[in-house]
Amino acid sequence: MSTKTTFKRVALIAVASLGLGVLTSIAPANADIPELTHGIIVNTPETLEAAYTGDPVGSEVEVTQTSGAFNSVQITVDGVSVVTVSGATLSAAIGEPTAIEADKKSASQTADSDYTISTKTAGTITVKSFDAAGGDVDLTSPVTTLTITVTDAASLKVSAANSTSIIDSDAVDGTSTKDETVVGVGIGNEGEQVAEINVVINNGDGAGDPMNGETVTAVVSGAGLVQGGGVAARVATDETAGGGLASFSVQSDGTAGTGTITISVGKIVIGTEKVTFSGAPKTITATQNLKVAGADPLGTTDAPNADGSHNGAVTLTVKDKDGILVPNALDITNFGDSKYKIVGTSSDKTIFESMAKGDADISSNGDGTYEVVVNAVSTTSGKSASLTFTVVDVNDDDAVLATSSAVSFAVGGDEIAKLSLGFDKAVYAPGEKAKLVLTAKDSDGFAVADGTYQVFAADGDAFAGLSASFATTSAPFSYAAEEDPGDGTGTSFIGGVATSSMFAPLVGGPIVASGTLTTSGSLATALDGTDIEASSTVSTSGGTAAQITSLLKKINALTKLIAKIQKKLGIK
């Protein structure tokens, strides 16, 4: 029988224990013969039959597979045939009786048979099938030739570059791209979780494909414990699943300091994470944000704003002996396991309230900083008192661990009786930064309570800003209308002062800013609709010469620096 008109079907399945091979086929020389089709599976041999679909035939096929102790390519050869292999050996697939020769380099079959070709090492394997239906076999004319290229493909192994390790103080879902700076309570907080580490393991194929079933190890150096699939310890493991994801909780071991956590798969380091555990409070710093209280509480316990500004009348910062921030792990003003609390003491309780342990007027931002609301007891304008803050050890008869410096507050009225406008300097140089200052006093002549006042426009309306005799980048004290009902608009005063910055003009002469007050409940009746004005002067006397001299000095210095650089680089 002529082998030129007889073709045997070969189905190819690459089976990899550590990854999948990349299979490609070469079109037969005869364009009328369909290309061989093949599939890649990772199932057991009993399920291979599912991949034998259609009726493909072909004359030449190429397969690329990765090397590995358990990696292989399986083929199915139809009909009465002889099969030979070079570069490897043949073995029969499960449940397939095949007459494989002793050297395992060839086989004779009387019906369709499956073979397994091991791809343990890199190299080239050639498999040929010959038509034996007529009895005589022409070993010079194979019906089908299969070439298997076995490579050590790093693309199918764990890739540190494509894998990620992300730490967060809250549990994350594996999609975060940035680590969080985590500070947790160490002393007195043993066993409490302070962070979560999510690890995604991908291979090196392009941007990476998830690798499930990989063992990820987390090792702690320093303070802290990690917990994966077992108990919390210095070393923990977890197996990737569901998109190559493994996760570890980070817990306090009851000590203070920094813990460095190394994440790896085998010898491949995926990343390192750091957690800082605080010790007992050693210092407390009080930063004053507001100054004058009125009838309403001064400040709020809201978290810091997006621009980093704080909303409390005072912001407290608590640190341990090493300067590590001590965060609030549980309830208000409580560190760790109800061990430490903050107390605020007034120098005169008839003017300002003190704050007892657990007072709701002190709230944690969760990072070692705390917002404080100040309440005035007295309504007498001009009265003042100071507040001092301490951290006490509840379990040691309220022993004081840290004390802040005193912060002074005053009492002021809620209505502006006198308002003045002025520049912060009588004379400016051309282009110098200038500042307009609004000073507001109550009917007793003291600074009004801190807050927002409707000075130039009704509540909720926009204000286009003061008029100026010179160009400014933005109109002084201008603001937009409220975006949401109830937000309110106006000019904010702290310590009876509001400011607006600009730059003086480049030409000399007098400068003026002016405006007209509105009618509102923020102003005493006598101020309604009145005009305010401020003036200053821009002087060029001696300024231009001095500026030119200064500029020449800078140019000379720059020229000398360039000459030195050229000399070092050998540039002439």
> Which pLDDT does position 101 carry in this prediction?
81
- Per cent of the chain over pLDDT 90 is 45
Phi-psi region of 437 (alpha: psi -120 to 50; beta: other; left: phi over 0): beta
> Which pLDDT does position 486 carry in this prediction?
56
> Which pLDDT does position 198 carry in this prediction?
93
Antiparallel, parallel or unpaired: β 314-319 and 123-131? unpaired
Spell out the SS3 assignment of 325-366: ECCCCCCCCEECCCCEEEEEEECCCCCECCECCCCCCEEECC
Question: Would you say residue 525 has pLDDT above 70?
Answer: yes
- pTM, two decimals, is 0.64
Question: Would you say residue 25 has pLDDT above 60?
Answer: no
The arithmetic mean of pLDDT across residues 117-141, rounded, is 82
Identify the band that residue 61 occupies on the pLDDT scale cut at 50, 70 and 90: low
The arithmetic mean of pLDDT across residues 308-316, rounded, is 92
Round to whole Å and give the CA distance between 357 and 342: 6
> Which pLDDT does position 95 carry in this prediction?
54
> Which pLDDT does position 58 carry in this prediction?
42
> Which pLDDT does position 333 carry in this prediction?
42
> Which pLDDT does position 558 carry in this prediction?
87
Question: Would you say residue 102 has pLDDT above 70?
Answer: yes
DSSP for 401-415 reads EEEPPPEEEEE--SS
- 92-101 tens-digit pLDDT: 765 555 678 8
* CB-based contacts of 335, cutoff 8 Å, min separation 6: 185, 188, 281, 318, 326, 327, 328, 329, 341, 391
- Per cent of the chain over pLDDT 70 is 81
Round to whole Å and give the CA distance between 266 and 18: 14
> Which pLDDT does position 457 carry in this prediction?
93
Question: Would you say residue 303 has pLDDT above 70?
Answer: yes
Query: How many other C-beta atoms can be found within 10 angstroms of the C-beta atom of residue 28?
Result: 18
Specify whether the CB–CB gap between 453 and 522 falls below 8 A: yes
> Which pLDDT does position 329 carry in this prediction?
39
Tokens read off for 140: 């010079």
- 536-568 tens-digit pLDDT: 999 987 555 566 566 677 788 888 888 888 787
Q: Find the distance separating the first CA and the last CA of the chain, reported in whole Å.
A: 85
Question: Would you say residue 177 has pLDDT above 60?
Answer: yes
Question: Would you say residue 175 has pLDDT above 50?
Answer: yes
Question: Would you say residue 21 has pLDDT above 80?
Answer: no
Q: Is 255 helix (H, G, I), strand (E, B) or coil?
A: coil
Phi-psi region of 188 (alpha: psi -120 to 50; beta: other; left: phi over 0): left
> Which pLDDT does position 328 carry in this prediction?
64
> Which pLDDT does position 83 carry in this prediction?
83
Among residues 84, 215, 62, the alpha carbon closest in space to that of 140 is found at: 84
The arithmetic mean of pLDDT across residues 58-78, rounded, is 70
> Which pLDDT does position 196 carry in this prediction?
92
Higher pLDDT, residue 25 or 283 = 283
CA distances to 17, 19, 205, 239, 471 from 120, in Å: 11, 13, 21, 26, 79
- 450-496 tens-digit pLDDT: 999 999 999 889 999 999 999 998 899 999 988 665 567 899 999 99
Identify the weakest region by mean pLDDT among 46-55, 128-137, 542-551, 561-570: 46-55
Q: Which residue has the tokens 């597979």?
A: 65
Question: Would you say residue 19 has pLDDT above 60?
Answer: no
Identify the band that residue 572 occupies on the pLDDT scale cut at 50, 70 and 90: low
Strands (DSSP E) contained in 93-206 are 99-100, 106-109, 113-118, 123-131, 144-151, 164-168, 182-185, 193-200
Amino acid found at 297: P
Question: Would you say residue 413 has pLDDT above 70?
Answer: yes
Question: Would you say residue 215 has pLDDT above 50?
Answer: yes
Identify the band that residue 16 occupies on the pLDDT scale cut at 50, 70 and 90: very low
Specify whether the CB–CB gap between 144 and 78 falls below 8 A: no
The arithmetic mean of pLDDT across residues 190-205, rounded, is 88
Q: What is the chain's length?
A: 572
Among residues 256, 311, 282, the alpha carbon closest in space to that of 390 is found at: 282
Question: Would you say residue 87 has pLDDT above 70?
Answer: yes
CA distances to 21, 167, 185, 509 from 221, in Å: 39, 16, 17, 67
The arithmetic mean of pLDDT across residues 334-356, rounded, is 82
Question: Would you say residue 347 has pLDDT above 60?
Answer: yes
Round to whole Å and give the CA distance between 344 and 251: 31
